[in-house]
Chain A
């Protein structure tokens, strides 16, 4: 079954890792991408605008109940959790999870709940453990788990913890993650 959604979680060092990853995805990339990057509460839309410079895919800062469209990149807005429903996003201001809002766990768990084996979870560089629980749930629900090789991560804490806790499908250097996603998401028979 084809993948419909790629969920990505990262914190420290995430911006430059995302730049590398997103710039390697082609215009016809067939799945949607949803991203949680921990950041400062006050930061505004600057980040999605910043990343838009590096990708041909349209980048959005998610608004509540926004539709999930293939080939679009969706960012969790500052100070909101990003949750996935089937076909669209919801937001919440529930208490922080693992000290984080947005929380990677919340994104990955809700995505697993809505998309089961049609979702890929990607954990990139990060300095805490938010995302480990989510990746574990995602994997348990039949999703595919990819973790950045800690040796290539600006902060190895998160990827190392994810690899220790989850039976991940792929541990890849940053540069190989986009090619892997392209390969995994390619329509059958293409």
Chain B
């Protein structure tokens, strides 16, 4: 997309002149994001504009800066400020067994397919602090498939990866997670999977055994293996359509024949170039299967 503004979507481009004149507020944001890229290599140029803008403005308030232009000047001078901005721009919301119906569908529709493999690889792209990955490990354990798998869990943010690796979470979240675990079709007692430690819980070490955590940026890094399943939930919503298409190309090329793609509850392959490359395995749960 050389030469085009990272912020301009196709629909907007076709309505405006080829120069794609931006509104003053948008120019500031555009320059900030370009600066972040050219100075530090952090690439937010094709992130979805509206939510990015909101987070930039929230960040401004926290830093007591009056304008986006001021932030830009500050961030270019001060690496620490840029690092804080980077953290401010990514959203790490997650939970164990978030959307229980997804895990139910996974048990019913995907597990039988996985049983036919002696060994399989799963990639959790954008795994945040790891809850989603451990949920999968628990599910596979209960289905007797855990010893046959290798799970690759990646995120662009090393801070959340650090938490993910530790597998230590606040005890006060366990009530909610237990509820979700049961709704997701959990077969045991959720507390079997952790030990309490003051105000935290530590997940049982065996859950980590088959997981490899690593830094991977979906915008700038390429394919690193071939997978039977790729799970990427609530990450693509932060990307514009250009970037979604780019990442779907990466996923398509990283999946084996008839491999499974799992997206977030309100995400869809429909508005992307890869719509026809997959069959719907569980429509409402956004589980897709690569056609060939």
Q: Which residues does A use to contact B, with CB under 8 Å? A: 61-67, 77, 80-81, 83-88, 90-95, 106, 109-110, 113-114
Contacts and interface: CB of A to CB of B under 8 A. Distances in A.
Given A65-B244, A86-B9, A87-B12, A77 B91 contact: no
A66 to B, nearest CB: 7
Interface in B44-79: 48-51, 53-55
Contact of A63 (B53, B93, B267): B267
A77 B266 contact: yes
B48 A90 contact: yes
Interface of B: 9, 11-12, 25, 48-51, 53-55, 91, 93, 234, 236-238, 241, 244, 264-268, 270-271
Contacts of A93: 91, 93, 234, 237
Given A77-B265, A87-B12, A93-B91, A64 B237 contact: yes
28 contacts: A63-B266, A63-B267, A63-B270, A63-B271, A64-B236, A64-B271, A65-B268, A77-B266, A83-B48, A85-B49, A86-B9, A86-B12, A87-B12, A88-B11, A90-B48, A90-B50, A90-B237, A92-B51, A92-B54, A92-B91, A92-B237, A93-B93, A93-B234, A94-B55, A94-B91, A95-B93, A113-B50, A114-B50
Top-5 shortest CB links A-B = A83-B50, A87-B11, A92-B51, A110-B50, A93-B93
Contact of A85 (B9, B93, B244, B268): B9
Given A92-B91, A106-B54, A85 B265 contact: no
Contacts of B12: 86-87
A136 B197 CA distance: 47
A86 B51 contact: no
Point out which of B51, B238, B241 has the most chain A C-beta atoms below 10 A from its C-beta.
B51
A114 to B, nearest CB: 7
Contacts, number: 74
A109 B25 CA distance: 14
Contacts of B270: 63
Contact of B271 (A65, A91, A110): A65
A109 to B, nearest CB: 8
Contact of B9 (A81, A83, A87): A87
Contacts of B50: 83-85, 90, 110, 113-114
Contact of B53 (A65, A80, A113): A113
A81 B51 contact: yes
Given A62-B266, A77-B266, A91 B237 contact: yes
A141 to B, nearest CB: 10
Nearest to A67: B271
A66 B271 contact: yes
Nearest to B270: A63
A85 B91 contact: no
Nearest to A80: B266
Contacts of B266: 61-64, 77, 80, 91
A133 to B, nearest CB: 12
Given A64-B266, A77-B266, 17 more contacts: A61-B266, A63-B271, A64-B268, A65-B244, A65-B268, A85-B48, A87-B9, A87-B12, A88-B9, A90-B48, A90-B237, A92-B237, A93-B93, A93-B234, A94-B54, A94-B91, A106-B54
Contacts of A114: 50
B25 to A, nearest CB: 8
Contacts of A83: 48, 50-51, 54
A64 B267 contact: yes
Nearest to A76: B266
B44 to A, nearest CB: 14
Contacts of A85: 9, 48-50
A94 B92 CA distance: 8
Contacts of B264: 64
Contacts of A61: 266
B11 A63 contact: no
A110 B54 contact: yes
Contacts of B271: 63-67
Point out which of A64, A87, A92 has the most chain B C-beta atoms below 10 A from its C-beta.
A64
Contacts of B48: 83, 85, 90, 92
A67 B9 CA distance: 12
Point out which of A81, A84, A94, A106 has the most chain B C-beta atoms below 10 A from its C-beta.
A94
Contacts of A84: 50
B263 to A, nearest CB: 9
